């Protein structure tokens, strides 16, 4: 419980930007979970399969027979009614019900796994959109600066202070800024389209323009313990082992005889007869290999469980170590770009004629390349973190 608290605190602080600004990442995921057509279809098909799994967990239907007997050369008439019911130990002892309940539990876990995968896809798209929103804001600022520079150099050219070459360079810088911004807009539309598909065709709005300050991750052992207990792949593997253990008990009980009870009543004119019949079905040949099959499946499921546990450990260990590296890189890159920015001085230097337009373009391009690199590092970290913490979705 304490471990879970630490992890949740870390995740809340890491994703604080979404909640502080608009809370839209959480609302987007909630909306997609409600509207996604794949999840809706899976829920309905799972419900249908659950009913199908429980079709055979009750006793067979009782049988009622009525007969009327007469003789060709006799005035005697006979009537009779018979009620019979078959009993099997698999149903009476709850073995069938146990298997059906475990099958239904596996369906729930499978749905949970599909839900997490889909919400993880949506969350990574949200982080990608935040990245493009931030990039759009940066490039839009650059575009405004480029427009101001064109206006400035037109006046200076008209006054004879600069050559046509300098003016053309300012115009070229404006064209480059417009081109880069157009690419970002197109990428944003593509991401929004993918989110809309996940949302059942309904539009998604996400206006977050920056990532949050990067918080440290909990220790790996704390993270792994929590993730291992909630991971649906491991949960499925463990429950599959339990299913085949129940299947072994079910198929072993098939060797028990099936009993049947029958009550009959006959009356022939004034004579009335009552009777009870007890029957037994002895399974000598039917279902002879079902126990062997269930045992083989149990052994195979145990192997799959161990394989899933090993794969999960090394996968999450790799994801955790990758996230730690990306976390450090993102924090250092972001801090360096913010501390070493020359944008304030560049504008003044250009306006005063201390640097040429070409020098300005080179410096500005270097700055925005660095800003983009910092955003790339943040996006890579949050993408990795989303995968690492998918079990919390």
Q: Tell me if 21 sits within 8 A of 221, measured CB to CB.
A: no
pLDDT of residue 124: 92
In the predicted structure, residue 5 carries a pLDDT above the cut 60: no
Closest by Cα among 101, 10, 2 to 50: 101
pLDDT, tens digit, 9 for 90 and up, residues 67-125: 767 666 666 666 777 777 676 766 666 677 777 888 888 888 889 889 988 999 999 99
DSSP at 157: H
Please give the average per-residue pLDDT across 177-181, as a whole number: 89
Give the predicted TM-score (pTM) of the model: 0.78
Who contacts 218 (Cβ-Cβ below 8 Å, separation ≥6)?
Answer: 3, 6, 7, 10
Mean pLDDT for the chain overall: 79
CA distances from residue 255 to 60, 85, 344, 367 in whole angstroms, order as listed: 18, 19, 87, 79
DSSP 3-state of 280? strand
To the nearest whole percent, how much of the chain has pLDDT over 90? 11
**Cα–Cα separations (whole angstroms), residue 314 to 164, 308, 309:** 62, 10, 9
* Mean pLDDT on 319-345: 78
203 vs 24: which has the higher pLDDT: 203
The listed CATH number (1.20.1600.10, 3.40.50.720, 3.10.129.10, 1.10.3720.10) that belongs to domain 2-60+99-255+290-392: 1.20.1600.10
Distances (CA, A) of 113 to 53, 231, 236, 393: 20, 8, 9, 10
* CA neighbor of 263 nearest in space, from 80, 10, 15, 9: 80
Give me 90's structure tokens: 């698999």
The residue extents of the domains of the chain are 2-60+99-255+290-392
- The band of 292, judged by pLDDT with boundaries at 50, 70 and 90, is confident
- Helical H segments across 22-72, by residue range: 24-35, 37-53
pLDDT for residue 2: 43
Going by the DSSP 8-state scheme, the letter that residue 67 receives in this structure is E
């Amino acid at each position: 419980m304490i471990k879970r608290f630490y992890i949740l605190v870390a995740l809340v602080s890491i994703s604080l930007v979404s909640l502080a600004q608009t809370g839209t990442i959480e609302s987007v995921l909630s909306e997609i979970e409600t509207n996604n057509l794949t999840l809706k279809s899976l829920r309905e098909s799972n419900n249908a399969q659950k009913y199908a799994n429980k079709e055979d967990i009750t006793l067979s239907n009782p049988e009622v027979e009525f007969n009327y007997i007469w003789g060709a050369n006799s005035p005697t008439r006979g009537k009779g009614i018979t009620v019979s019911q078959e009993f099997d130990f698999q149903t009476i002892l709850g073995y069938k019900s146990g298997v059906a309940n475990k099958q239904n539990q596996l369906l729930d876990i499978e749905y949970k796994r599909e839900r997490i995968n889909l919400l993880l896809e949506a969350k990574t798209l949200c982080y990608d959109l935040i990245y493009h929103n931030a990039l759009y804001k940066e490039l839009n600022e650059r575009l405004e600066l480029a427009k101001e520079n064109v206006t400035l150099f037109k006046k200076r050219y008209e006054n004879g202070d600069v050559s046509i070459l300098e003016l053309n360079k300012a115009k070229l810088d404006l064209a480059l800024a417009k081109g880069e911004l157009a690419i970002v807009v197109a990428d944003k539309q593509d991401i929004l389209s993918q989110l809309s598909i996940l949302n059942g065709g309904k539009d998604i709005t996400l206006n977050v323009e920056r990532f949050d300050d990067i918080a440290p991750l909990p220790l790996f052992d704390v993270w792994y313990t929590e993730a291992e207990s909630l991971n649906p792949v491991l949960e499925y593997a463990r429950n599959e082992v339990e299913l085949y253990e129940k299947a072994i008990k079910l198929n072993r009980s098939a060797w028990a005889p099936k009993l049947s009870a029958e009550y009959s009543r006959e009356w022939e004119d004034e004579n009335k007869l009552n009777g009870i019949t007890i029957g037994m079905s002895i399974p000598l040949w039917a279902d002879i290999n079902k126990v062997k099959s269930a045992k083989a499946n149990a052994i195979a499921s145990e192997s799959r469980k161990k394989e899933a546990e090993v794969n999960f450990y090394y996968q999450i260990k790799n994801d955790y170590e990758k996230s730690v590296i990306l976390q450090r890189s993102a924090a250092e890159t972001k801090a360096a770009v913010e501390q070493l920015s020359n944008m304030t001085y560049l504008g003044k230097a250009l306006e005063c004629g201390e640097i040429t337009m070409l020098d300005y373009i080179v410096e500005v391009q270097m700055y925005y390349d660095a800003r983009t690199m910092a955003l790339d590092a943040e996006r890579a970290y949050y993408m990795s973190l989303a995968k690492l913490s998918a079990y919390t979705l």
